[in-house]
Amino acid sequence: MPIYEYVDTHSHLDMPEFDADRQEMLKRAFENGVKTIITTGIDIPSSQKAIDLAAANPAIYAAVGIHPQECTGVTEADFERLELLVKCEKVVAIGECGLDYYRDYSPRHTQLETFYHHLDLADQTGLPLIIHCRQAEEDVLKILSDWSAQSPASAGKGVIHCFSGSAETALKYINMGFYIGLGAYIGYPSSRKYHPAFAAIPLEHIVLETDCPFLPPQTHRGERNEPAYIPLTAATLAEIKNLGTNEVASATTANARRLFHLDK
């Protein structure tokens, strides 16, 4: 299989799952064409680690934020800390942030307050958002549509990460200025019902991601996911969209570079 160039727009490289072989894992990513990786914070310590990893490796960029499942007990001091972290070198996005009503790990009012803080931060910095939405589509759509109505529509407001839903919902996000993030889960048997929707999402609004160490490709179920597997997701998407993997690679890589201003 020829090697194309890719960006992994969503990973958690700081997690302990990578402690034993982080350098070899990055080497494998590089060998498979995944030359740029965004590592995403889920709380203050992991956001700091994302910045440290980005500082140590030219291929890595950082996103800083507080995940909706991690916001229980969040304090004003945490938000102040986040405001400082967002100004650090190689921070290209705010997140991951959003709403997660699956099992309600954190109280909904805390999730909402935390999410609004991230939107304010995006207003202040102009950085794109990495949005996590699980079983909270109605609220996320409403909040983002109100928020994006205030600022002129630009195709760079952020990404709806790990998207599963209808083409209609995807187009609503796209019209607000968001991109759609797709990962290896699109190849799971349980995702088959979404294939018509994935096929209908315009390629110029899609970015690829792993969410590693989570959600490995179908052929690696039960194992750790890692950025080197991005080409498998590109091949799956190419099949769903009846395109060449080269087309999926070049479009999604250009989209990621544009959205996260990776060429600056």
161 assigned ligand-binding residue: yes
Residue 34-53 contact track with Zn ion, rule CB under 5 A, x = bound: --------------------
- Cis amide leading into 96 (omega within 30): yes
CB 201 within 8 A of CB 175: no
Residue the block writes with tokens 């921070």: 91
Residue 210-239 contact track with Zn ion, rule CB under 5 A, x = bound: -x----------------------------
The residue number whose beta carbon is nearest to Zn ion equals 211
Q: Binders of Zn ion: how many residues, by CB under 5 A?
A: 1
Q: 3-class SS at 6?
A: strand
205 assigned ligand-binding residue: no
Q: How far is the CB of 9 from Zn ion (least distance, A)?
A: 10
- Cis amide leading into 213 (omega within 30): yes
Q: How far is the CB of 108 from Zn ion (least distance, A)?
A: 20
132 assigned ligand-binding residue: yes
Closer by beta carbon to Zn ion, 43 or else 137: 43
Q: How far is the CB of 228 from Zn ion (least distance, A)?
A: 17
Segments in 132-177 forming alpha helices (H): 137-150, 167-176
CB 259 within 8 A of CB 156: yes
Q: How far is the CB of 215 from Zn ion (least distance, A)?
A: 9
Closer by beta carbon to Zn ion, 137 or else 211: 211
Using the rule CB under 5 A, give the single segment among 28-36, 191-199, 204-212, 216-224 that binds Zn ion: 204-212
* Secondary structure, 3-state, 177-246: CEEEEECHHHHCHHHHHHHHHHHHCCHHHEEECCCECCCCCHHHCCCCCCHHHHHHHHHHHHHHHCCCHH
What are the residues binding Zn ion (CB under 5 A)? 211
